[in-house]
Structure 1
Amino acid sequence: MERKLFTALQGDHAQRLNDALSKQGFRRSQNVLYRPSCAECSACLSARIRVADFEPNRTQRRVLRRNADLRRNATSPWATEDQYALFRRYLDHRHADGGMADMDIFEFAAMIEETPIRSRVIEYSRPAQGDEQGRPLAAVSLTDVFDDGLSMVYSFYDPALLEHSLGTFLILDHVQIAREAGLPYVYLGYWVPGSRKMGYKARFNALEIYKGGQWQDLGSPEDHTAELHPLSVDPIAEQVARIALPEARPMTD
């Protein structure tokens, strides 16, 4: 049974609240911040890459070379028909039975556009092939900009380009964007011990997880299997009491 701790993200202080809670393992979904708070396990661990310490391994360097012809374009959070068409192909191939499988274009637009904080849509286009016109979309990432990094809220890519390892490439490119902007972290969402679906995140070095109220090096993934046990969960009242909220700024005339 899944349980989440969440709060609305709205008003003049939305950006500061998002920055503060994201450092404590929260994630954004439109105008809501949430953090898993299940009663019987604490397996969902927020993960981020330390940009200054990250070095791509041999496989990741090959991914960068394989995608050298992709062109990046960072835009405002505005949904387009081309994005939705790519999103549908991605879902139908990768997550046909997932919770987002029935999203229509209006729900997709809400996911992209309903953001009360600083967000960007980062598009990656590829060279045209055959009778194609222009540069077709290969991948898209909805990305939030924090005071200390970039958060990859949701990404999708062309399933016909599986050999390009675009999921890995998007993370590598976000590390480069953060490095160029002087931002120390790239937030990847949640990593779950023992999950094959989430296992790719552990292949990025300089990875930290939020555990026990602090960020720490991932180390060996096998060291975190205890989070699957019911006794790993703190009472919900203690979890809430430990959340640090941003201080309210005084009103000015």
Structure 2
Amino acid sequence: MKFGITQRFTCNYLPEYEEQLLVSMAPANELNELYSQLMHSGFRRSGEQLYRPHCPDCRRCNSVRVLTGEFSPSKSQKRILAKNKHIKVKMTSDQRDDHYPLYERYISAFHADGTMYPPSYTQYRNFIACQWQQPVFLEARQDDGSLLAVAVTDRVKDGLSALYTYYSPDFEKHSLGKFMIMQQIYQADAMGLPFLYLGYQIDECRKMNYKTAFEPYQRLIDNRWVQYP
């Protein structure tokens, strides 16, 4: 395999550090087959690219994956499931017309201070779409069909890879982000897939700490998956 290394830039999660990425340079027609293999080594997808942190002065990012068949919701997670029991969740391979407007509202409401603001349809497509990997969408809808949340996820050989979740700002108190993670866990288990890959955990970053609340989970440390708890 061939890889490239990006220039250093300010870390989005720990601004006092600099970030550098290792990026797969494999031809597009080979990436679909390599995707599952590279996931085991801590890579993620963004648009057409597969990347992994390769920071010279920091090892704080650890890939996290949930063991779907062994997952047991905590008391607080059970309350989230009960609060949202009226919501209907469906998986589709089609990006529907109401997906992007919800994404735009979500970014404007919750991430106006981040690199994804201001949102645009081109930015959204460049982030989500991929020629060699078709993402799937878990939609959460009310009884009247109105869209509340979308979890964009990729299927790999041994699991689902949670790419991004966005939801209606009007339902912030319903903890839809955590609800949609659990829906992806249950979906992966129903498909006979043992893992849900959640991306990177950074213990010092408060925004990331929700990922280790879904137990049991594994973290990739020194190229070895270690189980917690």
- In the other structure, the counterpart of 1:83 is 99
* CA distance in structure 2 between the partners assigned to 1:107 and 1:121 by the alignment: 18
TM-score (norm. length: structure 1): 0.79
Does residue 1:51 correspond to 2:62, yes or no? no
Asked whether the equivalents of residues 217 and 228 of structure 2 are also in contact (C-alpha less than 8 Å), the reply is yes
How far the C-alpha of 1:75 sits from its partner, in A, is 1.9
Matches within 5 A, 1:1-253: 1-8=18-25, 10-78=27-95, 80-128=96-144, 135-219=145-229
State the one-letter code of the partner of 2:162.
M
How far the C-alpha of 1:84 sits from its partner, in A, is 1.4
State the one-letter code of the partner of 1:193.
D
How far the C-alpha of 1:8 sits from its partner, in A, is 4.0
Asked whether the equivalents of residues 47 and 127 of structure 2 are also in contact (C-alpha less than 8 Å), the reply is yes
State the one-letter code of the partner of 1:98.
G
**Structure 1, unpaired ranges of 5+:** 129-134, 220-253
Identity %: 33
How far the C-alpha of 1:118 sits from its partner, in A, is 4.0
Q: CA RMSD in A?
A: 1.6
User: How many residues are treated as equivalent by the alignment?
Assistant: 212
TM-score (norm. length: structure 2): 0.87
* CA distance in structure 2 between the partners assigned to 1:87 and 1:162 by the alignment: 14
Asked whether the equivalents of residues 8 and 31 of structure 1 are also in contact (C-alpha less than 8 Å), the reply is no
**Structure 2, unpaired ranges of 5+:** 1-17
**Greater share of strand:** 2
Structure 1 residues 77 and 152: alpha-carbon distance in aligned structure 2, compared to 1, 3 A threshold? farther
State the one-letter code of the partner of 1:163.
K
* CA distance in structure 2 between the partners assigned to 1:177 and 1:93 by the alignment: 28
Asked whether the equivalents of residues 109 and 169 of structure 2 are also in contact (C-alpha less than 8 Å), the reply is yes
Query: For 1:12, what is the secondary structure of its paired residue?
Result: helix
* CA distance in structure 1 between the partners assigned to 2:150 and 2:51 by the alignment: 23
Structure 1 residues 104 and 118: alpha-carbon distance in aligned structure 2, compared to 1, 3 A threshold? closer
